[in-house]
């Protein structure tokens, strides 16, 4: 069932999503060679709780019976999504996708960003650029009168013709009081197909794009998703409210971009 949100509810969603953006901005200050993902997780959890919210990922039930142990998902290099924070230090040349979710005043925020650690090679930097562009092209289609398939089509058409892989097994989603609501929002699709987009729908759009082919494998921890060919993957995500003419982006990269000087 798709829940349409009122203007007041969308403002609450914006507050939760802005907190996610601020949390990612705090992490942007720390992401350097030598820091561990466990340290990033600790900082994120403290920041979220200090701001009166709950990290929604912590304890999230998985399909293999284990609850997610971290407050953020940290996916390094060939890890696509759902990486578990650990004590391995990040290295110069790594990339790290950080996915963050909050519950504030009863509403969820959800956003992700892929960061460079030190100096990253040009091919991988281009992957990040293309993935981020594909997110905004998807968002351009999150308007009243379009359909879910238009979003996925826009993402896919920006990535696949250039030789990048678009992951299919994991998708974006409706979001509100629950982190995952209907409808699913795939990063591939056909124009003019799928659910009709209506005013008040809130959805998380989150392309997961690979430098090689799109095949993935799940690690034995039951969470971490990697590319099968070992090539890097990027993940950018915004939560948006569907509007007439232009989507309202509820999450924000402005705190990250301020730190990165972008």
Residue 143 CB, nearest approach to Mg ion (Å): 20
State which residue, 81 or 127, has the beta carbon closest to Mg ion: 81
Cis peptide before 255 (omega within 30 of 0): no
Cβ closer to Mg ion: 112 or 142?
Answer: 112
Q: By rule CB under 5 A, what count of residues binds Mg ion?
A: 5
Q: Which is nearer to Mg ion, 111 or 227 (CB)?
A: 111
The nearer residue to Mg ion, 9 or 99, going by C-beta atoms, is 99
Burial of residue 243 (CB within 10 Å: 0-12, 13-18, 19+) is middle
Stretch that binds Mg ion, among 1-9, 27-35, 99-107, 210-218 (CB under 5 A): 99-107
Question: Exposure pattern of 105-129 as b/e (b: 16+ CB <10 Å)?
Answer: eebbbbbbbbbbbeebeeebeebbe
CA distance 96 to 117: 7
Cβ of residue 172: shortest distance to Mg ion, in angstroms?
A: 6
Does 78 contact Mg ion by CB under 5 A? Answer: no
Residue 110 or 150: the one with the smaller Cβ distance to Mg ion is: 110
- Minimum Å gap between C-beta 57 and Mg ion is 8
The residue to which tokens 């007041």 are assigned: 8
> Closest Cα partner for 23 from 47, 51, 57?
47
For Mg ion, the binding residue among 9, 45, 94, 110 (CB under 5 A) is 110
Closest CA to 246 of 174, 168, 142: 142
Site for Mg ion in 186-245 (CB under 5 A): 204, 237
H/E segment holding residue 11: helix 7-30
Q: Give the span between the Cα atoms of 184 and 71, in whole angstroms.
A: 23
Q: How far is the CB of 194 from Mg ion (least distance, A)?
A: 17
Q: Which is nearer to Mg ion, 19 or 204 (CB)?
A: 204
**Nearer CB in complex with Mg ion: 94/237:** 237
Sheet holding 233-235, edge to edge: 165-166, 208-210, 233-235
Interface residue with Mg ion among 45, 78, 99, 181 (CB under 5 A) is 99
| Closest distance of CB 101 from Mg ion, Å | 6
- Closest contact distance (angstroms) between CB of 110 and Mg ion is 4
Nearest distance in Å: CB 31, Mg ion:
17
Element (DSSP H or E) covering residue 46: helix 37-50
Interface residues toward Mg ion, by CB under 5 A: 99, 110, 112, 204, 237
């Amino acid at each position: 069932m798709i829940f349409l949100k009122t203007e007041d509810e969308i403002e609450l969603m914006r507050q939760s999503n802005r907190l996610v953006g601020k949390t990612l901005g705090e992490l942007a200050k720390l992401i350097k060679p030598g820091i561990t993902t466990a340290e990033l997780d600790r900082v994120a959890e403290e920041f979220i709780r200090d701001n009166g919210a709950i990290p929604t990922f912590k304890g999230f039930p998985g399909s293999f019976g284990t609850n997610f142990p971290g407050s953020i998902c940290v996916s390094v290099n060939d890890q696509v999504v759902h990486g578990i924070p650990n004590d391995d230090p990040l290295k110069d040349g790594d990339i790290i996708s950080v996915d963050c979710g909050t519950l504030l005043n009863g509403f969820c925020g959800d956003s992700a960003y892929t960061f460079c650690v030190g100096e990253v090679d040009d091919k991988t930097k281009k992957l990040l650029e293309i993935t981020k562009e594909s997110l905004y092209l998807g968002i351009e289609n999150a308007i009243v009168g379009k359909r879910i398939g238009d979003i996925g089509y826009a993402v896919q058409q920006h990535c696949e013709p250039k030789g990048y892989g678009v992951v299919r097994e994991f998708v974006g989603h409706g979001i509100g009081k629950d982190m995952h609501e209907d409808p699913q929002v795939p990063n591939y699709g056909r124009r003019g197909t799928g659910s009709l987009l209506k005013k008040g729908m809130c959805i998380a759009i989150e392309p997961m794009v690979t430098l090689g082919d799109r095949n993935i494998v799940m690690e034995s921890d039951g969470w971490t998703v990697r590319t099968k060919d070992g090539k890097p993957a990027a993940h950018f995500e915004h939560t948006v409210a569907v509007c007439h003419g232009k989507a309202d982006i509820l999450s924000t990269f402005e705190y990250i971009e301020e730190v990165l000087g972008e």
